[in-house]
Amino acid sequence: MTASDDPPLTGPRLDHGPANDADGTRVVRAGLPAEEPYEPPLPGPVFAAHYHLPGEVEGAPYAYGRDANPTWSRLERALAELEAPGDPDAEVIAFSSGMGAISAVLLSQVRPGQTVVLPSDGYNLLAALRERLEGFGVRVRTAPTSGGAQRAELDGASLLWLETPSNPGLDVCDIRELADAAHERGALVAVDNTLATPLGQRPLLLGADISVASGTKALTGHGDVLLGYVATRNAQVAAAARAWRKTVGAIPGPMEAWLAHRSLATLDVRTQRQAGNALAVAEALAARPEVRDVRHPGLPDDPAHPLAARQMSRYGCVVSFTLPDQAYANRFLARLRLVSDATSFGGVRSTAERRGRWGGDAVPDGFVRMSVGVEDSADLVTDIRRALDEAAG
Ligand SMILES: Cc1ncc(COP(=O)(O)O)c(C=O)c1O
């Protein structure tokens, strides 16, 4: 039997093209250039402050390093494929950090005299941005993430900012419903998609105008890169964010952009494993009498679960819970072997921290935010149970 007589290993492909690929397939090729003989699949980072620029600037894709870079372009293409698969109008602008991206949207979209609605329980640096916006004459209203409370604040607003799930409380809001309500009143809607990643939630497909994220967390996932991005199908928003990046210079380094792109290939396997581990950890914590208020959107009896199940396809790696007091929480954290006491979240190595040590979040003294990594799930649960036993004294 010749090779051509061999039966095919798989059946015929019924759908063709990247828009129909599953996420696990999409991530490994997202943003890669067309294959060229003897070239690498993902070209290395381009380190350039300027590019050869013959003649006039008009139409030049790369002229100066603060404006554009081929390594960013490939990453941005990849992220657009993940945030809005198959949509040629989706654009992504990469930034040096999540705060760079968040600031770019808020400060380029809102003018003095306009009103913006922010979450009262979102990432704690939003409070600093609030102060800055108010200093510029912008009116800021706030509402908690759960219970659809933002709806009541929308009259006269020009931008609604959502963070779902929220950090660190892990509440969830209905993106579709709030986006419809905001659009009826002429307001733009932005969603901080950091915790979910585009494989866990696609705000642009749920009606939001803008998806913003810190790529520092699960997106890059190794705790070694700071990055952010803005994704949108609104050409005016994209142009404004790009112009803002150029003006303030909040640009990603080529090495960071390349590391981020390289990390996308494992985003599906990392986030699936982390979500499974997080659920196992949340269930183990919920079974302990000394642990209160265990929150994880994937826990079947979590108050956010019904809504999360409608708009998220995986529930993220963060679990939050409360121990009896500050000293108890510190004893627990000190006794963990597989979970490092560190801030941030989304990395392959598990971390946890007593969130109250920063100030700024309205959480009890014993509140712990844990980021669950890709370790073996049974090992993690054993370590956490042992640390709880030892913390109890
Ligand atoms: C939900 C959320 N958004 C934005 C940020 C800011 O991201 P970065 O630290 O990359 O500036 C963070 C950081 O923790 C975050 O948790």
Indicate the top mutation candidate among 121, 167, 225 to test ligand 1's pocket, ranked by most ligand atoms within 8 A of CB. Answer: 167
8 A C-beta contact, residue 76 and residue 32:
no
pLDDT tens profile 333-349: 999 999 999 999 999 99
Indicate the top mutation candidate among 163, 192, 217 to test ligand 1's pocket, ranked by most ligand atoms within 8 A of CB. Answer: 217
8 A C-beta contact, residue 197 and residue 203:
no
pLDDT tens profile 171-221: 999 999 999 999 999 999 999 999 999 999 999 999 999 999 999 999 999
8 A C-beta contact, residue 336 and residue 384:
yes
Please determine, for residue 6, whether its predicted confidence score (pLDDT) is greater than 70. no
Q: With a 6 A CB cut-off, is 97 part of the ligand 1 pocket?
A: yes
Q: With a 6 A CB cut-off, is 252 part of the ligand 1 pocket?
A: no
Indicate the top mutation candidate among 96, 170, 194, 351 to test ligand 1's pocket, ranked by most ligand atoms within 8 A of CB. Answer: 194
Question: From CA 273, how far away is CA 241, in angstroms rounded?
Answer: 33
Give pLDDT, residue 292: 98
Residue type, 187: A
Band (240; pLDDT cuts 50, 70, 90): very high
| Mean pLDDT in residue range 12-24 | 70
What is the DSSP code (8-state) at residue 308?
A: H
Adjacency order of strands within the sheet including 318-322:
292-295, 318-322, 367-371, 351-354, 340-341
pLDDT tens profile 354-388: 999 999 999 999 999 999 999 999 999 999 999 99
Please determine, for residue 107, whether its predicted confidence score (pLDDT) is greater than 50. yes
Please determine, for residue 5, whether its predicted confidence score (pLDDT) is greater than 80. no
Q: Which atom of ligand 1 is nearest to the CA of 226?
A: 10
Give pLDDT, residue 20: 85
Question: From CA 76, how far away is CA 91, in angstroms rounded?
Answer: 7
Give pLDDT, residue 19: 76
* 291 closest CA partner among 338, 248, 348, 352: 352
CA end-to-end distance (rounded Å), the chain: 71
Question: From CA 56, how far away is CA 60, in angstroms rounded?
Answer: 8
Residue type, 364: P
Q: Which long-range contacts (CB under 8 A, 24 or more apart) does 378-382 make?
A: 379/338, 380/277, 380/280, 380/281, 380/338, 380/339, 380/350, 381/280, 381/281, 381/284
- Do you find a cis peptide bond into 168, omega within 30 degrees of 0? yes
Q: With a 6 A CB cut-off, is 201 part of the ligand 1 pocket?
A: no
Please determine, for residue 68, whether its predicted confidence score (pLDDT) is greater than 80. yes
Please determine, for residue 12, whether its predicted confidence score (pLDDT) is greater than 60. no
Give pLDDT, residue 393: 83
Give pLDDT, residue 16: 54
- Indicate the domain borders of the chain: 18-264, 268-392
Q: With a 6 A CB cut-off, is 226 part of the ligand 1 pocket?
A: yes
Secondary structure of residue 352 in the 3-state scheme:
strand
| Mean pLDDT in residue range 270-279 | 98
Query: What is the residue whose two structure tokens read 């090992």?
Result: 379
Give pLDDT, residue 373: 98
Atom 10 in ligand 1: residue holding the nearest Cα: 98
Secondary structure of residue 139 in the 3-state scheme:
strand
The fold adopted by the segment(s) 18-264 is Aspartate Aminotransferase; domain 2 (3.40.640)
Band (17; pLDDT cuts 50, 70, 90): low
Query: 79 vs 19, 196, 336, CA distance in Å?
Result: 14, 14, 35
Give pLDDT, residue 13: 44
Please determine, for residue 305, whether its predicted confidence score (pLDDT) is greater than 90. yes
Give pLDDT, residue 301: 97
Q: With a 6 A CB cut-off, is 228 part of the ligand 1 pocket?
A: yes
Q: What is the DSSP string of 71-132?
A: HHHHHHHHHHHHHSTT-TT-EEEEESSHHHHHHHHHHHH--TT-EEEEETTS-TTHHHHHHH
Secondary structure of residue 211 in the 3-state scheme:
strand
Q: With a 6 A CB cut-off, is 192 part of the ligand 1 pocket?
A: yes
Question: From CA 192, how far away is CA 99, in angstroms rounded?
Answer: 11
Give pLDDT, residue 136: 97
Atom 7 in ligand 1: residue holding the nearest Cα: 98
Question: From CA 95, how far away is CA 253, in angstroms rounded?
Answer: 9
Give pLDDT, residue 39: 97
Indicate the top mutation candidate among 163, 214, 363 to test ligand 1's pocket, ranked by most ligand atoms within 8 A of CB. Answer: 214
8 A C-beta contact, residue 310 and residue 344:
no
Structural Rg of the chain based on CA atoms: 22
The residues, ordered by sequence, that sit 6+ positions from 199 with a Cβ below 8 Å of its Cβ are 23, 27, 82, 267, 268, 271, 313, 314
| Mean pLDDT in residue range 226-245 | 98
Assigned architecture for domain 268-392: Alpha-Beta Complex (3.90)
Give pLDDT, residue 50: 98
H or E element at residue 305: helix 305-311
Q: What are phi and psi of 191, to 5 degrees?
A: -125, 130
The average confidence (pLDDT) of the chain is 95
Please determine, for residue 159, whether its predicted confidence score (pLDDT) is greater than 90. yes
Query: What is the residue whose two structure tokens read 């409608």?
Result: 310
Please determine, for residue 3, whether its predicted confidence score (pLDDT) is greater than 60. no
Q: For the chain, what percent of residues have pLDDT higher than 70?
A: 95
Looking at 1-5, 206-210, 224-228, 294-298, which range is the least confident one? 1-5
Q: With a 6 A CB cut-off, is 163 part of the ligand 1 pocket?
A: yes
